[in-house]
Structure formats: structure tokens, C-alpha cells
Amino acid sequence: MLRIGLLWHSLSSDNLGVGALTESQLALCREAAELAGVDLEFVLFGTSGGQSYGPQGVKLAQGSAVSVRQMPGGRSAYEREVAACDAVLDIGEGDSFTDIYGLRRFAFMLASKQMVLRQGVPLVLSPQTIGPFESRPVRWLARRAMRRCARVFARDELSMSYLESQGLGAAATEVVDVAFRLPFVRPVRDSEDAMIDIGINVSGLLHSGGYAGANQFGLRVDYPQLVRRLIAHFTAVDRHRVWLISHVVPDHLPRDDDRVAVRELLQAFPRARAAPQFGSPSEAKSFISGMDFMTGARMHACIAAISSGVAVVPLAYSRKFNGLFATLGYPWLADGKAQDTDQALQTILDGFERREQLAADARRSNALAQARLDVYRDYLADLFRQCQRA
């Protein structure tokens, strides 16, 4: 029985994107274990939230919190539990190995990796956005840590290009976001239902201007105005059934809570409907798979659409969108940093009118994503075989 640590994963996160990464990682690990002929048990290390979800039949334990303060003197329970693992897969919550969220958060993410490496346990950076790293000392520290990893997987071409520019290309592989493997069940639709289901994934974070307000992400687009104009446009047509979809739901962070923005919008647009609160990332993807068209600013809500063959126009607010969807050759993207409100609105409405073409492109991009994830799965199978022999 191999013991695999899953660092910066969560099956209780209020951010269903983090949960989607975790559920998908578990699915890929189970596929790899079957190929390798080994049994696995998992230990999760990461943030917790108010949710509770996860697949059945998996041997899974919640590890101790990562504590930098307990590092001196070997007092860290996290470090002791990591030392008992055969390998650690670190997914960085998808996009957190960077300094754009502040130096304190970067230092915390870096320390969690260093504690694994100094125990001599193989550390794999699972598919994620790498960087950007804005300051020179941070770039040096990040490069030094990645050189010591067993393997680094980039989920997009921009991240891979960065790794190559830092002399790390030989130890890295470009694949794609693991959430393309998230299981789902497509809802059965009444054959007599002639309505067009339109999903609008509302980002509470962008609606409130970011964690600190004041347009933290430097958008050209006026996000609240854009969402209101979209809802007004779509609800004006009787055949449209407009769903406002929440994908990040932290009770303790109202600025980041999609539900807060949705409640405000429903007061202004009573013809729109709130999607149900989902019990798991797979439930969210299953609901999204029933849409005829979707737009959204939470990346994993958009991945849920593409990977279930739904026409979608993502609204990018950081390079993680641009890099990921360019990697898959999916061109239908509104860019909140490059486009103004009118331009972004027109891009989304054009996508709606061409939704049959977008759906076909989504299916093609998903097939490419699945092939890329097979590469990652096969690497894990080889890693598990090596751990079994060790």
C-alpha cells in the first residue's frame, strides 16, 4: 500500500475549483494505480472549508495543517506526516505558486514544498499555472525549489514557456488542467422542452473589485456593468432560461462569495434564476453540462463547460485563462484586461449566436485535453511503480 500525499488539495473547500482539482486528481491517481498494479491511500494537506465531498471507496485521511511557525526544532506535525509518504503531489490550488497574491502567500507555498524536499520524499508539481514571479529574489527561490522536484507539470503553454526560459524545460512537461477529468452525469432533458438554457457564472470576487477592492486585477471591463447587461439582454427573450451560477461560496469571505453577487442581481432581474447550491464539484459540472450556452469568470466553471461539450465564452481576468485555453486551441475568449465593456459584451453575444460552432470546438478541445492528461496519468503510474520497488 503506497501512501500518497496530496498537497494544496481539499475536499471541503468553498472554492469548487479547488475541489474539482482534488476530485480529478484522485480519479487520475486511481487510473494510474490500476495501470501500475498498486493500492493507494491518500493524505490531504491544504485549506479547509464548510463543504464536504469526495469519492466513495477511497482510503483518505486529512493531514495536519501546514505550519511554518512549527518548522524550527522539528515540531511540525505536517512535516512528520509528509515524511511517512511515498510521494507528494502538490497542485498549488491550481494557480497559487506565484507572487501576484503577495509575498506572504508565496513564502507560505514555498515553505510547504521545502518541508517535503528536506525529508527526501519525491515531490511532483502536478498540473498548474507556474508564476508569474514578479520579483527577482522570488524567481530565484522558485527556480531553486523546482530544480529539486521529481517533475514539474505545467497546465498551459505560457507556464511551460516560462519554465523553459528558466532552464527548467528538461524537467517539465506541459499537459492541461486535471479538472478536465472531473466525473459528471449529464441531466436528462425533456424532449418537448424548447427553452434555451443559458448559464452565467457570476464571480463575486470580480463583482466586488477583488479582495482589496479598487479593481485589484486591473480590468478594463466594468464587470458589474457587463454582467447586468448580459442578464438584461438574455432575459428579454421569453425562450431563454437564464441561470446565475455560483462556483465559489465561502461564508467567511463575502467579497469572494459568488452567492452575494447573485442575490443582488436577482433583485434587479427577477426573471433570472439562481442555480442550486452544489454539494460537490461533480454536481456543479453535471448542472453546467445541461446548459446550451455559458459564460463565466471562474476558470473551473468554464472548464466544466468545455469538458462536457458546452458552448462557453470564458471571461479572462488573468493569464491563467489565456494560457490554458490557447493551449487547447479554444479561441472563444473575452479578455477583461484587454477589452472594454462593450467589446467583451459583443464577444460573448457573438459566441452565443455561434454556439453550435463553439460546442463543436469545445468537444475537440476536450479530446485534446484528455490525451494530454493520459500523459500525466502514465507518469503517475511509472512513479507508483518506482515507489513500490523502493
CA dihedral 126→131→136→140, nearest 10 degrees, is 10
Residue 72 has pLDDT above 60, yes or no: no
pLDDT digits (tens, 9 = 90+) for 313-347: 999 998 888 888 988 999 999 999 999 999 999 99
Q: Cα(333)–Cα(341) distance, rounded to whole angstroms? A: 14
- pLDDT over 90 percentage in the chain: 80
- Residue closest to 90 by CA, chosen among 113, 107, 110: 113
241 Cβ contact partners less than 8 Å away, ≥ 6 residues apart? 195, 196, 197, 198, 273
Phi, psi of 344 (to 5 degrees): -65, -40
pLDDT digits (tens, 9 = 90+) for 278-288: 999 999 999 99
CB 149 within 8 A of CB 116: no
pLDDT digits (tens, 9 = 90+) for 147-204: 999 999 999 998 999 999 999 999 999 999 999 999 999 999 888 889 999 999 999 9
pLDDT at 189: 86
- Residue closest to 15 by CA, chosen among 127, 94, 74: 94
Other Cβ atoms within 10 Å of 370 Cβ, number: 14
